[in-house]
Structure 1
């Protein structure tokens, strides 16, 4: 169904694919992709070089990220939002921890929208990406979002998810700096069979690409005859999940279906046709035959861990046993996983079904689910089901069309627009409960999981259609392709009256006299020090997992209430993966504060003596070693919490995503890497001394010799810090992005 073609191809006239073409070089023809047409138009340098400095047309944030972004920008000299910036309230809206803490953030957001000229979308009006689809996208534009699933390519608008520091740069009229990316042609053929939905295609795409990293930091460009067979919600559902391939962004050809989207949203002038040029070059190709797509299930603990539902039905014990064994490898004896118990009479029984968020709560998904469940019942046993329309316009449409009634009569609980089920702040499963979800992720340490406390939620991703088929079968996992149903619901009718009533649109109308409204939990960033001449770091966490997610670096869910309080939030850093990390980091940080006051601890003095260094020009901070950290969310707190606790560096083989690496840089954490052949057996408590690091970074060097100090002596190690821009180097030396901007004044 998904074929990877790992060599370059030419696309002629948008129809003919060739391995070779003599009339144009790859570099010349790559400029004719839709991707490069958009990127070059947003590159402030205006040259066809290997580096790009991008300015975006609009930005998006939600209520886990916008307070920190505005606080950072304010400390850096922000006076007015220079571009449309929409702040939605879809992550913290239902989390009750901390009393009024969440609502304090919302009030702060509205006051900031008034003061600086922003767009404020109140709680439960829309999830971030649906509001962007309805109100912010334009063909040929680019949107930057502080959420990893910022993807609007199916609507002709390139979306990029980054950490808050990159949004701060845009607010201060700086740029997003990248290497000119490779482009991957995703060629769609055929037409999906009845019962197959967008999550089935997306899961298959992620399965084919994630583990090998074959599309990492590349742009996926969708084209081919199969595109016209997909309604816009179907395209959106595939597009939003491209994040899980680790690609940089995505873009699709546009057609009458996309034009219809802009027409019904009363923005016809924002549509334009996007097609590759007559000769376009792509660095590789992915061919997807939609007609061969089967109903899929992505099993714990990653969207790429996928099989067809029919494969699961054929070997449930074998497949679920492998998941149990994986859990034991990840968590040891901390949790006792019983997935095989879900197999009763040869059939797998789920405990919960959820359709929600930017990927699941679309009108078409809910209409299909309603058609499958019409006149049926989910039963009165352990299985439960909830559905979250992704915006109030979608909620009104499914209500007026009777879809809500069909779902509710079957026993599905209808809830307001909210992202919580995706990250553990809503519909958290019971311990050992198997939840099937049309949401974006099923990582470990997510959806309420607390392995350190013996709590583990087991989440599998499925399309809304198969979730509905399962619900109609009392929780027995069922492929929607195996059930008979007829969807007679009318096409989506958009109505934006609620937005006109409730959304504050202040772009271009800044009111600088407005006072920001602070709650007691909204705190400024603590002091962060510039880089010293030499660096000494102690490993406060050593993680040997193949991939470390941002949910492990800073948990989601119950931590949401403290996102605006750097000190309180940092208490959760690595709490579900390395519980001792916070205490160790604090102890290291205190020793550096003592050093600055002239009181060098025996721990630091002994290490410095071992390498012949002195305390006056050598900082002491904490460090995390992981094989491949940063997969998942764009939330900058995965890095800022390390910095708040005195983190100076990370060491790894590679960073799972650009956005996490960017977050580290913007918070003054040096993103060191080591060569693949390096086999050093790091242990917690080991120290790494990096002499002359400040000078090396300022001089543009990309590697340095360092020394590892262990209980057995001192050993050499070679560290890399490659592909840093001049600005990024200065940010690191200054200690963080805020310090950088302060020093520019």
Structure 2
């Protein structure tokens, strides 16, 4: 049934779950509590529900219009002559529409149902291997897509073995498979699958890009994604919502990349933790879907949970051009909706910005570093490979030549974008200027090809410039907009594009993109999928298993690392990615940049504690960072603070994340210190937060905190999420 007659219901008490149906025989779709139970999710109908809420503040009338197929409240209407219930912002609507357990209170644990899954090959093998361990016969979400866009440069058989494994896995379990060279996952997903109102969970931190179309898109570790794909839903700490009002319009030579760099300038790489950034205001309508995608993609660099734009006329036009107009539903915040925090960005006052080495948060105006000699310019990646991005570069370089000191590469985001720049002439302009055109994959963004010279500036339109991410130890990578990168390529030094004079007029392509999904392989029907043989090469190795949390942890401190250590320091990019499906081999390079002896020391000592600073584990969602620690015998990590996804990955693998009660104690810790932490299991089980690390030498005790949500405690006690779910299944 496509529609239902409006139901009139009453809700007795504001503290009860909404809506509680007391009359009528067609209740609205509401995903059930997914704690320890699988549930194949079905598409609910589109309907309206009217209700009266009786509480201490009197009676309120409320009517929700639910926007099919994802149960997201589109609008809240007041009853005639009655007070309207509290308005919701868009993020709250999306969370409400997918809430299966918990309350939308920032900091509290909530369970969310998942509509779509995004997996890419670098994290995909571990995701797939752990999905197989769940013992289910087929995925239990409406859509899952496997993209091969990272490990595509074969120098031996490892990557090909991985591709064959992932393709056969996808066919066996009902996952769509995007073939190598078809494009970067986030661009293809935005083009072909992202839908307003849906919830996407991606095994890649930049999955947030799909928030550009009014989708709730969240990055997570591979095990969390595997568990959600099996139908258990996704657990997360309820985020705060930051309302970012965009005013005005971007001036010439200023691009969407400068908007997100401005937010990074304000918040740094830690300031967005535990937050969803929702964009509002008159300036929103001036940004195309791809420009919004640039902002949403890089929101994760703030440490944010995700970002979302309203689904508006720009969204409808985008989906129509993609042949997906039926996926459109208007979604926006209610009038007078409240936010936990607010921010204002006047687009008209922005100028070209650039992130200096070695952090996306190290942002300054381009004019401050203008004149810095450069040897390489790379344009592309999952954040700046759209037609509009490449067309600006083509316009700057048309009838010009790349400076003799510069090596320049350009990467289109997808085959669709490659086709568009080819038909529109941009491709020829770039090639004629001396740009090297790369296939539509991640490539140099994750250190696969185009490694720069050590100590010499490389200017890139990418989303991260962590030390060594480019594939070169001692790299000096700057992050900027395509316009700034084009000006730099032309002049041979970092250049403010405004010095080039009037900006070129770049308009959308005069034709709709060619829609060709032949490189996305649909899975066979279930009865045929049963006969698919999964192909495993020699480098496809099952992950290590966690152990139930011990009562006492008595170990040496293996290493003390600084603030903002990234998961790339624990599971390196570049050539190291070919080892990500084999944790014993991958673990050999954990902290290799900080301490080449770390791996051997961990094996010799039989494990130990890792001690870190703020934002430990920032960046990529790669759970190989947690799995490598698990393999090396690490059972607890102590830091000043943790990045969200890595913290979740540690817990999922049974590793206890602890923080210093007094951050000053970090300075007292030295490699080789012998610590004993007692009553660990008892404290975690009872919900106590205080623990003490005692030194064997009788030195000063260090107070620690174990701040954990209820489910996190249960997972740690069991020895990781796989064992937790196994125990839950046996107890049913």
TM-score under structure 1 normalisation?
Answer: 0.83
Q: Separation in 1 of the partners of 2:704 and 2:233?
A: 28
Deviation at 1:237, TM superposition (A): 1.3
For the 8 Å contact 1:378–1:475, the answer to whether it is kept is: no
* Cα distance, 1:24 vs structure 2: 10
Aligned to 1:535: 553
For the residue of structure 1 that corresponds to 2:101, the secondary structure is coil
Per-residue CA deviations over 1:34-65 (Å, capped at 9, x if unaligned) read: 00101011011375564320121101111111
The residue number in structure 1 matching 2:115 is: 57
Aligned ranges for residues 23-422 of structure 1 at < 5 Å? Answer: 29=86, 32-45=88-101, 50-83=108-141, 84-94=143-153, 96-97=154-155, 99-151=156-208, 152-210=210-268, 213-313=270-370, 347-379=371-403, 381-422=404-445
For 2:109 and 2:83, the matched residues in 1 are separated by: 22
Task: Tell me how far apart the structure 1 counterparts of residues 399 and 247 of structure 2 sit (CA, whole Å).
Answer: 35
Residues 104 and 238, structure 2, Cα contact 8 Å, conserved in 1 = no
Structure 2 partner of 1:559: 576
Secondary structure of the residue that 2:231 maps to in structure 1? coil
Q: Which residue of 2 aligns with 1:427?
A: 450
Distance 2:136 2:400 in 1: 55
Residue 279 of structure 1: SS of its match in structure 2?
coil
Native 8 Å contact 2:146 2:178 kept in 1: yes
Instruction: Indicate if the aligned counterparts of 2:243 and 2:277 stay in contact, CA closer than 8 A.
Output: yes
**Shift in Å, 1:494:** 4.8
Tell me if the contact between 1:378 and 1:412 (Cα under 8 Å) persists in the aligned partners. Answer: yes
- The correspondence for 1:514, drawn from 523, 526, 532, is 532
Against the structure 1 CA distance between its residues 33 and 490, is the aligned structure 2 distance closer, same or farther, given a 3 Å change threshold? closer
Give the drift of 1:507.
7.8
Q: Secondary structure of the equivalent of 2:391? A: helix
Following the alignment from structure 2 to structure 1, what is the Cα–Cα distance between the partners of residues 310 and 369?
35
**Deviation of residue 569 (structure 1)?**
0.6
Aligned partner of residue 537 in structure 2, secondary structure: coil
Whole-angstrom distance in 1 between the partners of 2:689 and 2:365: 45
Among 715, 722, 725, the alignment partner of 1:738 is 722
For 2:89 and 2:525, locate their aligned partners in 1 and report how far apart those are by CA, in whole Å. 33
Shift of residue 512 of structure 1? Answer: 2.2
Of 662, 669, 675 in structure 2, the residue corresponding to residue 688 of structure 1 is 675
Displacement of 1:88: 0.5
| CA displacement at 1:363 relative to structure 2 | 0.6
1:722 to 671, 695, 707: 707
The alignment partner of 2:617 has SS state of strand
SS in 1 for 2:200: strand
Kindly state the Cα deviation for residue 496 of structure 1 after the two structures are TM-superposed. 5.1
- Given that residues 264 and 493 in structure 1 are in contact (C-alpha distance below 8 angstroms), is that contact kept between their aligned partners in structure 2? no
SS in structure 2 at match of 1:226 = helix
Cα distance in structure 2, aligned partners of 1:235 and 1:481: 26
Alpha-carbon distance between aligned partners in 2 of 1:481 and 1:233, rounded to the nearest angstrom: 26
Query: What SS is found at the alignment partner of 1:281?
Result: coil
Counterpart CA distance in 2 for 1:496 and 1:565 is: 39
Answer whether contact 1:350 1:477 (CA < 8 A) is retained: no
Superposed CA RMSD: 2.1
Q: Deviations over 1:591-645 (max 9, x none)?
A: xxxxxxxxxxxxxxxxxxxxxxxxxxxxxx4211001211111111111100011
Between the aligned partners of 1:489 and 1:52, the Cα distance in structure 2 is 43
Q: Cα–Cα, structure 1 residues 494 and 60, in superposed 2: closer, same or farther, change >3 Å?
A: farther
Cα distance in 2 between the residues matched to 1:268 and 1:498: 17
Q: Which residue of 1 aligns with 2:588?
A: 571
Deviation of 1:120 after TM superposition, in Å, equals: 0.4
Contact 1:624–1:650 (CA<8 Å) still a contact in 2? yes
Once residues 488 and 295 of structure 1 are traced to their aligned partners in structure 2, the CA distance between those partners, rounded to angstroms, is 17
Give 2:66's aligned residue.
none
| Aligned counterpart for 1:547 among listed residues 560, 564, 580 | 564
Cα 1:708–1:165 change in 2 (3 A) is: farther
Asked if the contact 2:115–2:200 (Cα under 8 Å) also holds between the matched residues in 1, the reply is yes
Following TM superposition, by how much is the alpha carbon of 1:121 offset from its aligned partner in structure 2, in angstroms?
0.4
Q: What is residue 582 of structure 1 aligned with on the other side?
A: 599
Residue 57 of structure 2: aligned partner? none
Q: Relative to structure 1, is the Cα distance of residues 393 and 691 closer, same or farther in structure 2, using a 3 angstrom cutoff?
A: same
Unaligned runs of 5+ in 2: 1-81
2:497 matched residue in structure 1:
479
TM-score when normalising by structure 2: 0.84
CA spacing shift, 1:532–1:353, aligned 2, 3 Å:
same
Q: Is the 8 A contact 2:137 2:173 kept in 1?
A: yes
Query: Is residue 377–residue 411 contact of structure 1 (8 Å, CA) maintained in 2?
Result: yes
SS at match of 2:111: strand
Residues 643-662 of structure 1 mapped to structure 2, 5 A cutoff = 643-655=630-642, 657-662=643-648
- d(CA) in 1 for partners of 2:476 and 2:379? 16
C-alpha separation between the residues in 1 aligned to 2:525 and 2:190?
A: 21
SS of structure 2 residue aligned to 1:461: strand
Aligned pair in 2 of structure 1 residues 524, 397: CA closer, same or farther (>3 Å)?
A: same
- Structure 1's 528 and 51: CA in aligned 2 closer, same or farther, altered over 3 A? closer
SS in 2 for 1:150: helix
Cα distance, 1:242 vs. partner?
Answer: 0.9
Per the TM alignment, residue 706 of structure 1 is displaced from its structure 2 partner at its CA by 3.4
Is residue 521–residue 565 contact of structure 1 (8 Å, CA) maintained in 2?
yes
Measured after TM superposition, the shift of residue 280 of structure 1 is: 0.9
Per-residue deviation at 1:563?
Answer: 0.9
CA distance in 1, matches of 2:488, 2:513: 32
CA distance in 2, matches of 1:565, 1:204: 39
- Aligned to 1:285, the other structure's residue is in SS state strand
Evaluate the alpha carbon distance shift between residue 24 and residue 538 of structure 1 in structure 2; reply closer, same or farther with a 3 A threshold. farther
Instruction: Note the C-alpha offset of 1:490.
Output: 4.7
Distance 2:109 2:138 in 1: 28
Residue in 2 that maps onto 1:625: 611
8 Å CA contact 2:102–2:109 kept in 1: the answer is no
Residues 119 and 507 in structure 1, CA contact (< 8 A), matched pair in contact too: no
C-alpha distance in 1 between matches for 2:422 and 2:415: 10
Number of the residue aligned with 1:706: 693
State the aligned residue count.
641
1:469 equivalent in structure 2: 487
Task: Quote the Cα distance in structure 2 between the aligned partners of 1:46 and 1:730.
Answer: 16
Aligned-partner Cα distance in 2 for 1:82–1:418: 29
Determine if contact 2:139/2:231 at 8 Å carries over to the other structure.
no
SS in structure 2 at match of 1:172: helix
Paired residues of 1:352 and 1:475 also in contact (CA < 8 A): no
Counterpart in 2 of 1:676? 662
